[in-house]
């Protein structure tokens, strides 16, 4: 062992290390601190044995305790489901038309439905349910197939114009590009514009009105107010699914546009269908 050296300036022992005349003083660390350090090493080794830690060729060591973050989440979800079991049962037995009267159950259904919506429905209808061109806005009071709770549940369960559910809502508008002349299309479009705007060619619109009565009113109604039984949109209101200017209307009349929605009854549990319907009903347009 090296000899003891004391720094003259401070009277403190040095480690004996010296660089360019600069000496390293030795203010010793408490020994228990060193033990704590060793203890943390031992603890660390034990920890890596108990929990997943060491990287291997594929994956990592599993740890003798069998703990995993995924397992914790699964347990949390199971626990959560257990806590909500009564609410789920109540939701399945509830008369959905009077659901909002049961504040607690309604809150649960809307919260659960919101989660389902964001996961399954937001891809088309948008995270805020505001829709997009061709995808209906679910916040407004305009409904193609009806906005009552039971109607929403039906639409969610069976979907729209899909090939998998025979009970899916189904309707199809003919493509009038093959039936109308360009002039007839233009006249019909002018009539449609006249229904919700004050700037239109009155003569042309009058001509279009006749064409509308002969060709369109069977589904869209004499007053163009639509018919929810066949999913025919109201053409006299302020809302246009595919756009309300002349260009967009011309395209719609000539090509007949419509959307498709999956039958969620085949993909979601009954409680999720009910929950997401309650959520959509509570967005503002529910009837």
Partner 1 sequence: MAHEPAPSLYAAQEPVFPRKVKGFYRTFKWWIMAVTLGIYYLTPWIRWDRGPNLPDQAVLVDMANRRFYFFWIEIWSHEFYFVAGLLIMAGLGLFLFTSALGRVWCGYTCPQTVWTDLFILVERWIEGDRNARVRLWKGKWTARKWRLRITKWTIWLVIAMATGGAWVFYFADAPTLLRDLVTLSAHPAANITILILTLTTFIFGGFMREQVCIYMCPWPRIQAAMMDPDTITVAYREWRGEPRGKKRDGTAGDCIDCMACVNVCPVGIDIRDGQQMECITCALCIDACDDVMARIGKPRGLIDYLALSDEEAERAGAQPRPLWQHVLRLRTIIYTAMWAAIGLGLVYALFIRSDIELTVSPVRNPTFVLQSDGSIRNIYDVRLRNKLGDDRQFHLSLISDDILRIELEGLGRELAIDVPANETILQRVYVTARPQDPAASRNSTPLRLWVEDLGSGDKASWDTIFNGRESQ
85 lies in the site for partner 1, by CB under 8 A: no
**What mask, x for binding partner 1 by CB under 8 A, covers residues 119 to 138?**
-------xxx-x------x-
Q: Are 256 and 172 within 8 A, CB to CB? A: yes
Q: Which one-letter DSSP state was computed for residue 25?
A: E
Three-state secondary-structure class, residue 166 = coil
Taking each helix axis from N to C terminus, what angle separates 202-215 and 182-196, rounded to the nearest 10 degrees? 100
The angle formed by the CA atoms of residues 108, 109 and 112, to the nearest 5 degrees, is 85
Task: Compute the distance between CA of residue 20 and CA of residue 178 in angstroms, rounded to an integer.
Answer: 97
Count of residues that bind partner 1 according to CB under 8 A: 36
141 lies in the site for partner 1, by CB under 8 A: yes
Segment interacting with partner 1 (CB under 8 A) among 52-60, 89-97, 102-110, 179-187:
102-110
28 lies in the site for partner 1, by CB under 8 A: yes
If the CB atoms of residues 159 and 233 are measured against partner 1, the closer one turns out to be: 233
Segment interacting with partner 1 (CB under 8 A) among 30-38, 157-165, 211-219, 261-269:
30-38
Long-range contacts of 58-63 (CB under 8 A, 24+ apart): none
If the CB atoms of residues 187 and 241 are measured against partner 1, the closer one turns out to be: 241
Token representation of residue 56: 């291997």
46 lies in the site for partner 1, by CB under 8 A: no
Q: Are 118 and 278 within 8 A, CB to CB? A: no
The residue from 25, 62, 239, 248 that contacts partner 1 (CB under 8 A) is 239
| Location of structure tokens 């489901």 | 81
13 lies in the site for partner 1, by CB under 8 A: yes
List contacts with partner 1 (CB under 8 A): 1-5, 13, 15-16, 26, 28-34, 100, 103, 106-107, 126-128, 130, 137, 139-142, 196, 234, 237-239, 282, 284
């Amino acid at each position: 062992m090296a000899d003891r050296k004391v720094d003259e300036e401070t009277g403190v022992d040095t480690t004996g290390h010296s660089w360019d005349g600069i000496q390293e003083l030795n203010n010793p660390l408490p020994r228990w601190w060193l033990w704590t350090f060793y203890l943390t090493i031992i603890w660390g080794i034990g920890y890596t044995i108990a929990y997943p830690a060491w990287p291997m060729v594929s994956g990592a060591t599993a740890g003798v305790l069998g703990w995993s973050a995924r397992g914790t989440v699964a347990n949390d979800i199971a626990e959560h489901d257990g806590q909500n079991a009564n609410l789920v049962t109540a939701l399945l037995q509830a008369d959905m038309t009077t659901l909002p009267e049961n504040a607690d159950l309604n809150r649960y259904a809307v919260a659960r439905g919101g989660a389902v919506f964001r996961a399954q429905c937001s891809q088309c209808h948008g995270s805020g349910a505001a829709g997009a061109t061709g995808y209906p806005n679910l916040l407004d009071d305009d409904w193609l197939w009806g906005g009552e709770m039971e109607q929403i549940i039906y639409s969610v369960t069976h979907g729209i114009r899909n090939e998998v559910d025979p009970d899916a809502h189904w309707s199809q508008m003919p493509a009038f590009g093959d039936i109308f002349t360009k002039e007839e299309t233009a006249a019909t479009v002018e009539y449609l514009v006249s229904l919700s705007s004050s700037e239109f060619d009155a003569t042309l619109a009058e001509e279009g009105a006749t064409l509308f009565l002969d060709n369109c009113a069977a589904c869209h109604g004499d007053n163009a107010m639509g018919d929810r039984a066949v999913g025919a949109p109201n053409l006299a209101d302020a809302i246009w699914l595919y756009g309300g200017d002349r260009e967009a209307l011309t395209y719609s009349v000539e090509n007949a546009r419509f959307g498709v929605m999956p039958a969620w009854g085949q993909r979601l549990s009954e409680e999720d269908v009910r929950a997401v319907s309650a959520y959509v009903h509570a967005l503002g347009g529910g009837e």
